[in-house]
Structure 1
Amino acid sequence: MRPRRSLTLLVAGCVVAGQVVAEPGYQDYGTPESDQAAPDKAIEIASITTDRGIVTRPGRLTIEPSLSHAYSNSTTVAIEGYTVIPALVVGLINISEIQRDIFVGAFTFKYGFSSRLEASLRIPYLVINEDLRERQAFQGTPVDNLREASGQGLGDVELSTRFQLTDGSGGWPYLLGTFRVKAPTGESPFDVERRQLLDNDGNPIGIVLGERPTGSGFWSFEPGISFIYPSDPAVLFGNFSYVRTMPDDKGEDNGGTIKPGDVVRFGFGMGFAFNERTSFSLGYDHSVIPKTSVEFDTSLTDAAFDRVQVGSLSFGMSQRLTPNASLGLTVSIGVTEQAPNSEIALRLPLSF
């Protein structure tokens, strides 16, 4: 019998310090059945984002309820006027502050069809609360204008598959191909009630949504690849994906055919197993979203905003409760202006 390998290895989202985890009836690539470890020694590495880990074992169903809260706060100063000297501005200064709370409850179902293929379905439900405070200076006594908006409902449902490309033998990392489809099942910004925003003189100055949308309103397809590399005592991981968002004709009232910018996503990090029950991980994720294009009357124009950079630093912990259940907590801190200030997510994967 060969001696057990001494690396800390991530298999099916689980690690054991000093040996590979396998279940009866499941053959780990490159590991003889005589070297299989007892499944009750497995613990879960705390994932920074979803779909980190080897595919679900064949015939196993995992149900993962989760709850997350994201908080965003931003302040915008708009100046309409001209500068007499660098320290003196003549005109209107508009200061607006937005505070947004987004609560997401979701159920994710994962099923392993084979030792290399997994499929999952994620169904989210969103509750959004938003407060907007505006102050117009140089119009007598400054007065704050307060507006509130909220929305709740089903979000965009996601269906994804993952396929394990390599078995991690010969010192190579585990490579996994992923493909995700997001359907516009949530209420989009083009479906909610809208009303005209007027200034003090009754002139239209913009559009206000009556409630916050819970979906994007567009189909999107996301192919990608991820890797997992065991390097005792840590497990290194990373991912790269490209989100293709399909253009859609939203009608003349909404500007015609709208093509949201495609998204480039990448991330990396590492995880540690403290013992057979507790693990910790640290990582960084970044998304680059280019301009949105609007095609109207056979002309193609770009939206006013430039590309958006969304980056966040995350750390998480996981505690195994039973051989088939664990509790994971992830905290993310935004490091770019467009990212949420903070996000907390709680997950409870249950395997059958």
Structure 2
Amino acid sequence: MSTKMLSFVSLLAVAITPGLTEAAQADKDTISTDRSTAISAPKQDHDPATDIASITADRGIVTRPGRFSIEPSFSHAHSNSTAVAIEGYTVIPALLIGLINISEIQRDIFVGAMSLKYGFTSKFEAAIRVPYLSINEDLREREVFQGTPVDTLRESSGEGLGDVEISARYQLTDGLAGWPYVIGGLRVRAPTGEGPYDVDQRVIEDNQGNPIGIELESRPTGSGFWAFEPGLSFIYPTDPAVLFGNLSYVWTLKEEQGFENGGTVDPGDIVRFGFGMGFAFNERTSFSLGYDHSVIRKTTFERNIDLFESNFDRIQIGSLSFGLSQRLTQSTSLSLTVSIGVTENAPNSEITLKLPINP
């Protein structure tokens, strides 16, 4: 294979968006999680585009027909936020009468996942991803106007199977005549993890024994809702780099849960988009820089004839990611991605390590 062709293959391999399910995802998935870069071995008897396996967040070229791709992965996301709640009134701009509650929340999410992909044709592949989550959360708070210097500490954790994802992707264009590669996809997330309404709850009381809220006994490992995500990915090789982008919409089904006397919860749908560029240092090492953003719409709660909405109109989650990939053998790559949250609700940092294997 010529030097020019090898360069094209290496550059195209890094055109995958650094990606939280989950938890992310987020869930984030997550909200939360799906970020890295990879290079597959060039083959002289194949179209270079089909020689590059789709790794991570469905941003690459589809898997070759009749071939499996196995991808174990591990990620750690850390979040640290401070919230100030004020209940009172202002006498003058410098004097507040009432109660100020300051709380600090630290959350660590560890996700181990196994993904399996299979190429049915040169343009169509299907995949399944099974995650396992471990979540630790610490809450430190102090009621400032109670006259106590002692912080109240609460710890909670959760561990178990997350939401399993099944996806299918189809390559719509061949990237010829100056056009980008366009890949259409559909991802389905099943509520196999323990959702927020599946875990036990306890009532929080104030110093006088009055109930002031409800707290979960443990952290949920799943969303508790079915979700469907159609989307498009774009890859445009332009020497000496590759430009990429993606756009998708997450439609979440509402469920009858959350209220003892019957009610329906409708989680807000999500609009996701991302863009970036990849660059190959040589035939084995590649680097990518990308940005991902999610807009989560307002959640609504219905009980009998009453309708309630969440306090936030919408939630913005944006992350800037840096990815580095090294091809270890002809069939194995190792990729490392570091993501930094740039919006208030995004995880402070996330580190993802993946080992895609193409036997």
Q: TM-score, normalised by structure 1?
A: 0.89
- Cα 1:131–1:78 change in 2 (3 A) is same
What CA deviation, in whole Å up to 9, does each residue of 1:30-88 have, x standing for no partner? x9xxxxxxx8xx8x89x7x6112100011111110000000000000111111111111
- Cα 1:105–1:206 change in 2 (3 A) is same
Question: Given the alignment, which residue of 90, 94, 103 partners 1:96?
Answer: 103
**Displacement after TM superposition at 1:26 (Å):** 3.8
What CA deviation, in whole Å up to 9, does each residue of 1:331-350 have, x standing for no partner? 00000000000000000001
What pairs up with 1:53-68 in 2 under 5 angstroms?
53-68=60-75
- Tell me if the contact between 2:165 and 2:190 (Cα under 8 Å) persists in the aligned partners: yes
SS of the aligned residue for 1:8 comes to: helix
The amino acid that maps onto 2:279 is: F
Q: Which runs of 4+ in 1 moved over 6 A?
A: none
- Tell me if the contact between 2:290 and 2:322 (Cα under 8 Å) persists in the aligned partners: yes
Q: In the comparison of the two structures, how many residue pairs are matched?
A: 334
SS of the aligned residue for 1:248 comes to: coil
- Tell me if the contact between 2:41 and 2:330 (Cα under 8 Å) persists in the aligned partners: no
Do structure 1's residue 265 and structure 2's residue 297 form an aligned pair?
Answer: no
What CA deviation, in whole Å up to 9, does each residue of 1:200-227 have, x standing for no partner? 0000000010000000000000000011
Question: Given the alignment, which residue of 219, 228, 243 partners 1:212?
Answer: 219
Do structure 1's residue 157 and structure 2's residue 164 form an aligned pair?
Answer: yes
What CA deviation, in whole Å up to 9, does each residue of 1:130-155 have, x standing for no partner? 00001001212332000000000000
Residue in 1 that maps onto 2:292:
285
- Cα 1:6–1:121 change in 2 (3 A) is closer
Residue in 1 that maps onto 2:204:
197
What pairs up with 1:1-352 in 2 under 5 angstroms?
8-9=8-9, 13=13, 23=43, 26-27=46-47, 50-250=57-257, 252-253=259-260, 256-352=263-359
SS of the aligned residue for 2:260 comes to: helix
- Cα 1:64–1:3 change in 2 (3 A) is closer
The amino acid that maps onto 1:23 is: K
SS of the aligned residue for 1:249 comes to: coil
- Cα 1:85–1:3 change in 2 (3 A) is closer
SS of the aligned residue for 1:138 comes to: helix
Q: Using the alignment, how far apart are the partners of 2:236 and 2:332 within structure 1?
A: 24
Q: Using the alignment, how far apart are the partners of 1:141 and 1:3 within structure 2?
A: 71
SS of the aligned residue for 2:229 comes to: strand
**Displacement after TM superposition at 1:237 (Å):** 0.5
Q: Using the alignment, how far apart are the partners of 1:206 and 1:3 within structure 2?
A: 65
Q: Point out the more displaced range, 303-312 or 121-130.
A: 303-312
Mark the runs of 5 or more structure 1 residues left unpaired by the alignment. 32-38
Q: Using the alignment, how far apart are the partners of 1:176 and 1:256 within structure 2?
A: 39
- Tell me if the contact between 1:7 and 1:230 (Cα under 8 Å) persists in the aligned partners: no
SS of the aligned residue for 2:343 comes to: coil
- Tell me if the contact between 1:220 and 1:246 (Cα under 8 Å) persists in the aligned partners: yes
- Tell me if the contact between 1:73 and 1:100 (Cα under 8 Å) persists in the aligned partners: yes
- Cα 1:105–1:280 change in 2 (3 A) is same
Residue in 1 that maps onto 2:23:
none
The amino acid that maps onto 1:112 is: G
**Displacement after TM superposition at 1:254 (Å):** 7.8
Q: Using the alignment, how far apart are the partners of 2:270 and 2:120 within structure 1?
A: 29
Give the strand-richer structure, 1 or 2: 1
CA RMSD of aligned residues (A): 2.4
**Displacement after TM superposition at 1:23 (Å):** 3.3
Identity percentage of aligned residues = 66
Larger Rg: 1
The amino acid that maps onto 1:190 is: Y
Mark the runs of 5 or more structure 2 residues left unpaired by the alignment. 16-39
What CA deviation, in whole Å up to 9, does each residue of 1:270-321 have, x standing for no partner? 0000011110000000000010011111333312222100000001100010
